[in-house]
Chains A and B, each alone.
Chain A
């Protein structure tokens, strides 16, 4: 399932996938895979992304029913 919350949070800060990847310390392809729903990140990576975007885990990764 696509992670549109992550994509919009990133866009709100005017960050490209590469910018976010550099901040988190992963590759651009990894951010792309998370946004497309091709890869389930570990909690550590989720936390790193949340910190970089100034959001909480719930805001970015919690799926509403």
Chain B
């Protein structure tokens, strides 16, 4: 009966993953938006009437925009499309006056995007002082390998994780009746604490963003921070409670390697951000902190452990 329920649970889990992945892959992703920009012209100059950026969230690897500009012939719209990440980059610039513009394929890889339209008077043209309007119809069509790019990725990742869990379970199956019960108990408590920490961090990040109105991390970065915090909390707590995860003996060389790698990653991310004058390379920085913290903890713990063992030998 137990075996049956396990198989049923497994089949249902796999079915949910596949359905979710297919649903994501087949998601209809055409998005449209219409904006009207009031433009005031004085002395043949546009009194800048920059519109609010329009946000789009394309799903897929590629997308294209069709922008329909309606307005006076002598009023051109400068179009700029930018990615909505911390290191925002311009992916398209163009110009149109009372016509339709197709951007062609833009490689986006599921990044959010802003469309900015800035009206100006056509070069050499004159326009009477008056109030004008530019009407912009923006159609986003994101497509291209959406299914294979996203759904297959989710399915393959899910199966890979499932296979890893299964193999590690089979490889580490404890057939020996003797096992360290204290370690197992400590790991259980530690895993629960780490889960609580992960939940708190995953709630605190969006809460802080809402309170401050700032969004310093994109969803991917937030996910990495939340995930690594949970893992780090688990590993460090387990280690401090003598419920080692992984290597039990000869831990010092590994601890030193972790510390060196972590320090290098932190230094590289800071140097890179100073030299390139961009934002701090967050992924490198986060993984650096992760390895550094783990390495330092392992070094301290190994030293304390050695002292304890030596004191026992002497007594």
Contact = CB atoms under 8 A, between A and B. Distances in A.
Interface in A15-65: 16-18, 24-30, 32-33, 39, 41-42, 44-45, 48
Contacts of A18: 309, 312
Given A16-B309, A17-B309, 17 more contacts: A11-B315, A17-B312, A18-B312, A24-B178, A25-B176, A25-B179, A26-B180, A27-B182, A28-B309, A29-B182, A29-B242, A30-B180, A30-B183, A32-B312, A33-B242, A42-B181, A44-B181
Contacts of A24: 178
A33 B178 CA distance: 18
Contact of A45 (B181, B305, B308, B313): B181
Contacts of B182: 26-27, 29-30, 33, 39, 41
Contacts of B312: 16-18, 28, 32
The majority secondary structure among interface residues of chain A is helix
Contacts of A25: 176, 178-180
A16 B181 CA distance: 20
Interface in B291-315: 305, 308-309, 312-313, 315
B309 to A, nearest CB: 6
Nearest to B308: A32
B4 interface: no
Contacts of B180: 25-27, 30
Nearest to A21: B180
Contacts of B183: 26-27, 30
Contacts of A44: 181
6 contacts: A16-B309, A17-B312, A28-B312, A29-B182, A29-B305, A42-B181
A16 B313 CA distance: 6
Contacts of B313: 16
Q: Which residue of B309, B312, B313 has the most chain A CB atoms within 10 A of its CB atom?
A: B312
A45 B180 CA distance: 9
Contacts of A42: 181
B248 interface: yes
A11 B313 CA distance: 10
A32 B315 CA distance: 13
Given A16-B313, A32-B312, A33-B242, A27 B248 contact: yes
A55 B226 CA distance: 50
B313 to A, nearest CB: 5
B82 to A, nearest CB: 55
B242 A30 contact: yes
Nearest to A34: B182
